[in-house]
Amino acid sequence: MVSIIVIICILLLLGVTFIHGYKDEDISVISNSIVNTNVTLAEEEKKINYESQGDSTDSIEFLCWDEINNDVFPRETEAEVEDIYTGKKFKIIRTMGDNHADCETITEDDTKVMKEIFGGFNWSKRPIVLHIGGKNYAASMSGMPHAGVDSAPAFAVVGGLSGGYGYGQNLDTIKNNNMDGVFDVHFINSRRHMEGGISDTVDMEHQKNIDIIRSYVR
């Protein structure tokens, strides 16, 4: 009788050890996955949410600026921005830009969503998917409207241009959207403007954001 009790105790002890070991191993795998990819649990969930909407990297086109500029996103074209990290969306119009797309929000509501995404207007850059004509394109945008005054006529020479641009031509063409000026949207191999001693080089931070889309959306 004593032998049977001893055997039962040993089996129970082995079972607890096995279960405990399995849980530790499982936690270790999850932890290593997060550390190795630098992706938080919330971001992992966003991947799943994005995929469940029927979108994937297979449905997102990674095109160079030369392909985008005149054929896909010419001036006066409307598009919808989707922020990769939050899933929030707002509508924009490309109004100008040669080396990249200079854009404006369409309405005050669009501007409100943009500010929610960026935490207000600032020069930070975020990976986005641009929805145009039923297709999806990888891009990156900055959150600072610049070179404009909403209350002044478009293309008039005025002072107090947004983004610290001072005195010059007003690039704000969409009025009453609660935003002064234009913001930048970049694609693969698009470049900065030549201004303030900065050459028209490829902005590597924007390019990195486009690469993030490849790994972020499954």
What is the C-alpha separation between 19 and 9, in angstroms, rounded? 16
Q: Are residues 59 and 19 in the same domain?
A: no
Q: Are residues 204 and 137 in the same domain?
A: yes
Q: Are residues 33 and 119 in the same domain?
A: no
Q: Are residues 16 and 57 in the same domain?
A: no
Please name every residue paired with 135 in a beta bridge, in sequence order, or none if there are none.
132
Q: Are residues 17 and 87 in the same domain?
A: no
Q: What's the DSSP call for residue 184?
A: E
Percent of the chain with pLDDT over 90: 66
Backbone angles phi, psi at 7, to 5 degrees: -65, -45
What is the C-alpha separation between 207 and 116, in angstroms, rounded? 23
- Residue 119: which residues within 8 A CB-CB, separation 6 or more? none
- For residue 216, which of 130, 119, 128, 116 has the smallest C-alpha distance? 128
Burial pattern 16-41, b for ≥16 Cβ within 10 A else e, equals eeeeeeeeeeeeeeeeeeeeeeeeee
Q: Are residues 17 and 114 in the same domain?
A: no
Angular region, 20: left φ>0, alpha ψ -120 to 50, beta rest: alpha
Q: What is the pLDDT of residue 216?
A: 74
Q: Are residues 160 and 63 in the same domain?
A: yes
What is the C-alpha separation between 188 and 143, in angstroms, rounded? 18
Is the distance from CB of 121 to CB of 144 less than 8 angstroms? yes
DSSP annotation string for 18-87: HHHHHHHHHHHHHHHHHHHHT--HHHHHHHHHHHHTT--GGGEE--BHHHIIIIIS-TT-EEEEEETTT-
Task: Give the β-pairing of 135-142 and 60-61.
Answer: parallel
Q: Are residues 75 and 156 in the same domain?
A: yes
Q: What is the pLDDT of residues 82-119, one digit of tens each?
A: 999 999 999 999 999 999 999 999 999 999 999 999 99
Cα angle, residue 91 at apex, residues 87 and 176 outer, rounded to 5°: 130
Q: What is the pLDDT of residue 58?
A: 57
Q: Are residues 34 and 69 in the same domain?
A: no
Does the reported pTM lie above 0.75? no
Q: What is the pLDDT of residues 156-215, one digit of tens each?
A: 999 999 999 999 999 999 999 999 999 999 999 999 976 655 568 899 999 999 999 988
